[in-house]
Amino acid sequence: MPAELERTARPGPVVIRAAVAILRKDLRVELRAREAVPAMALFAVTAFVLFHFAFDRDALDGDVAAGTLWVTLLLTTVLGVNRLFVAEREQGGLEAMLLAPIDRTAIFLAKAAALFLYLVAVEVVALPAFAVLLLGPDLFGSLPALCALLLLADLGLAAVGALVGALAAETRAREVIGPLLLLPLVVPLAIAGAQATEPLFTGSGAPEDLGRWLGLMGLYATIFVLLSVALFDFLLED
């Protein structure tokens, strides 16, 4: 068993190489079939239109703007998480990956990385759309802080999303269980994101508490990455 030997001899690089291979496959499928990212971006923009009519306001600022942006992005994640494993299972890709002599952690890393990249791609579309359609104050001043918040939140969302996607994919009512699981789990990110973004959108700027909310998001991402790495093996064990 040369592959087995190689795996035990050099565990790190093989995991990373396998993860990169799976990630490249996922990205190629996404580029050709365009199943997740366009749908997520469209969902986000449509949600902004809905929020415009629901609030009956042409421009939002402060806590309402922060809440609208974060709730939209978190709900958009649900779409991505639903697609993450379902296609794999329907088309038998997961079985092939399980047959391959690679660590299961590689599958988690690849899926989380794919979700992270999808989220970043969606935000590249959704953030300008939000600024044009709804946001009252100028976006450019708050862009660096907002980008840091979004990237850190995406990291946590990618970890928790990959875990929830794998958990829900095996259930009978997966399109119900997935969102129901994900929404309570992202409440800490909603808290941190909305609280940190609110001063950015009031126009005054100067988010003196940015550090602690970034810290909370970092803690969240760390805990869920560690949990997922520890628990993912048990989800793909047949």
For binding to other proteins (CB under 8 A), which residues are involved?
A: 163, 167-168, 170-173, 176-177, 180-181, 183-185, 187-188, 191-192, 195, 209, 212, 216, 219-220, 223-224, 227, 231, 234-235, 237-238
- Minimum CB distance to other proteins, residue 232 (Å): 8
- Minimum CB distance to other proteins, residue 89 (Å): 13
Q: Given the complex with other proteins, which of 50 and 219 has the nearer CB atom?
A: 219
b (16+ CB within 10 A) / e for 180-191:
ebbeebbebbbe
What are φ and ψ of residue 137, in 5° steps? -70, 165
Q: Given the complex with other proteins, which of 80 and 178 has the nearer CB atom?
A: 178
- Minimum CB distance to other proteins, residue 82 (Å): 15
Angle at 156 between CA 52 and CA 82, to 5 degrees: 65
CA–CA distance, 118 with 10 (Å, rounded to integer) = 30
Q: Given the complex with other proteins, which of 58 and 238 has the nearer CB atom?
A: 238
Q: Given the complex with other proteins, which of 67 and 134 has the nearer CB atom?
A: 67
Give me 122's structure tokens: 């969606």
- Minimum CB distance to other proteins, residue 42 (Å): 27
Q: Given the complex with other proteins, which of 37 and 192 has the nearer CB atom?
A: 192
Of 177, 81, 213, 19, nearest in space to 221 by CA: 213
Q: Is 70 exposed, middle or buried (0-12, 13-18, 19+ CB in 10 A)?
A: buried
Asked if residues 60 and 164 have their Cβ atoms less than 8 Å apart, the reply is no
Q: H or E element: which one contains 141?
A: none
- Minimum CB distance to other proteins, residue 212 (Å): 7
